[in-house]
Amino acid sequence: MNLEQYIKEYHEGRSDWFIEEVRSVSNQQRVMNVMNLKDYLDGKHKILQKQPYMYNGKEFHPRKIVLQYAKTILNFEKAYLLMSPVTITGNERIVKEYQKVNKQGKYDRLNYKILDKMLKYGQVYEYVYLDKKTIKSKLINASEGYPVYNHDNEMIAFIQAYMIDGIDYYVVYTEDTVETYNNKGGQLRLTGRYANLSGLPIVYKTMNEINENEGKSELEDWISILDNMEDLISKYMDTFYKFMDPIAVSIGQQLKGELPSEVVGKGINLDDGGEFRLETNKTDYKTFEILYKTLLQSLLDISQTPAVSLNKTDVSNLSEVSIKLLFQLAEIKASINEQYMREGIEQRFERIRKLLAYKGVTFTDEEFESLGLVFQYALPSSDKEVIENMKALREMNGLSLETLLEHNPYVYDVQQELMRLKEEKDTTYSSGVNNKTQDIVLKKM
């Protein structure tokens, strides 16, 4: 089913079909969920809705402690996967062109923003376009983007809708055109129509068990645990301050008059056998400690965050293998996030290829298929050990120079490094780089 048939069947062929599409129940529910997640990240947590109550005849305002663990965990996930820029590999000629596009379009920063939005809200959209002679991309937030799918789950159109100063704006993307509308003055009107050179926006999304066309936010798995942690620590703080008001108990002699308010630090004279003390309730801090630690550990387990990254475990005297085991869950999570990113970036490569063709730069299918991506996880490791392993493989001819550079912890642009090695072809440095044979010999100190 193409877009024309879709509009005819579901919107009776109306020219303003996109307005009804945006206002559909399913789309509004999704956008409302995204807005709720934004409010949560902004600090509007359930604990803040706790109402005052009466205690000892007075109105008591409970403490409302907000824990922003969600931001910390999200920041860890983003940095773990994309702390180092993504390396583009493949045929030298095509990689050179794509690296140029990557730098001009600032795609390393864009990748970080994409992963951020995808983890927070489940999906985000990227539109690749040609700005004069520069290839760029713009992000469309999940709260503004409305993909249109046919019954075969194929995206046939995309709508961006947002409001500024009470005016509704719509951008309708089809395979061939981009149309802009607004209702300024109370009437919907077409304000622009442009050729769409790159095709429909790219959808980056996480896995959703219910709807394969939508993603699911990581936050939705954590919020209930964080709500209970905030409720528990807030109630414990209330209990602690309530019990700070002790009751004076005198045994034997009855004290005349009221007990002085400044009795602490003073002396009281009692008869033989008399006794005076201050009684307080005993708080069960052990139960609180166990409950809080259990909730925190559950949060780390479900989010697949290593406890060591939040300073929750001792890491002294650990071997390289032990550290890798501690980060095993983080490795698994990063590999899943990598697949989400890889799927979208590969579609971006196709869009860039199409736009480069308009500039007169073309590639064969063989050259394009050689393109690859290398993600370097931020796993704590010994660079010395990595280099020694690569040195051993290189000496036994088990590793090519290009592969060695791809996994070199100090190199992010492989093609540029290869070009530099070629330029230094006739020079041998004391560091041990023999450029005549393009071999690397790392001397032991």
- pLDDT tens sequence across 347-370: 999 999 999 999 999 999 999 999
Pairing of strands 439-440, 433-434: antiparallel
Please check whether residue 268 lies inside any domain of the structure.
no
305 and 222 in a common domain = yes
User: Residues in the chain, how many?
Assistant: 445
* φ, ψ for residue 280, nearest 5 deg: -130, 155
Helices vs. strands in the chain: H and E counts, helices first:
14, 16
131 and 11 in a common domain = yes
For residue 120, what are the CA distances in angstroms to 39, 75, 161, 261? Answer: 12, 10, 20, 54
| Number of Cβ atoms within 10 Å of the Cβ of 298 | 14
Please check whether residue 113 lies inside any domain of the structure.
yes
Nearest by Cα to 143 from 217, 218, 32: 32
Please check whether residue 84 lies inside any domain of the structure.
yes
425 and 308 in a common domain = no
pLDDT in tens, the chain (445 residues): 889 999 999 998 898 999 999 999 999 999 999 999 999 999 999 999 988 888 777 888 888 999 999 999 999 999 999 988 898 888 888 988 999 999 999 999 999 999 999 999 999 999 999 988 899 999 999 999 999 999 888 999 999 999 999 999 999 999 999 999 999 988 999 999 999 999 999 999 999 988 888 999 989 999 999 999 999 999 888 887 776 666 777 676 655 555 566 655 555 666 666 676 766 667 777 888 899 999 999 999 899 888 877 777 666 666 666 777 788 888 999 999 999 999 999 999 999 999 999 999 999 999 999 999 989 888 877 677 778 888 888 888 888 887 788 777 777 677 778 778 877 765 555 445 454 444 444 343 3
The pLDDT score that the predictor gives to residue 84 is 86
405 and 373 in a common domain = no
The model's pLDDT over 278-307, given as tens digits with 9 standing for 90+, comes to 666 677 778 888 999 999 999 998 998 888
Question: pTM here?
Answer: 0.80
Structural domain of residue 189, as residue ranges? 1-36+123-215
431 and 369 in a common domain = no
CA distance 108 to 58: 57
Query: Of 381, 397, 428, which residue is a domain's last?
Result: 381
Nearest by Cα to 105 from 121, 88, 120: 88
Please check whether residue 202 lies inside any domain of the structure.
yes
386 and 375 in a common domain = no
84 and 18 in a common domain = no
227 and 112 in a common domain = yes
Buried b (16+ CB within 10 A) or exposed e, 392-426: eebeeeebebebbbbbbeeebbbbebbeebeeeee
For residue 85, what are the CA distances in angstroms to 61, 80, 267, 365, 373? Answer: 49, 11, 70, 26, 10
365 and 319 in a common domain = yes
Please check whether residue 261 lies inside any domain of the structure.
no
Q: Which two structure tokens, joined as six digits, stand for 427?
A: 């020079």
Please check whether residue 139 lies inside any domain of the structure.
yes
69 and 15 in a common domain = no
Nearest by Cα to 378 from 340, 337, 350, 347: 337
331 and 239 in a common domain = yes
Can you point out the beta strands (E) in 63-133?
87-89, 123-131
Please check whether residue 257 lies inside any domain of the structure.
no
Question: How many domains, the chain?
Answer: 3
375 and 228 in a common domain = yes
- Contact indicator for 280, 249 with CB cutoff of 8 Å: no
Please check whether residue 266 lies inside any domain of the structure.
no
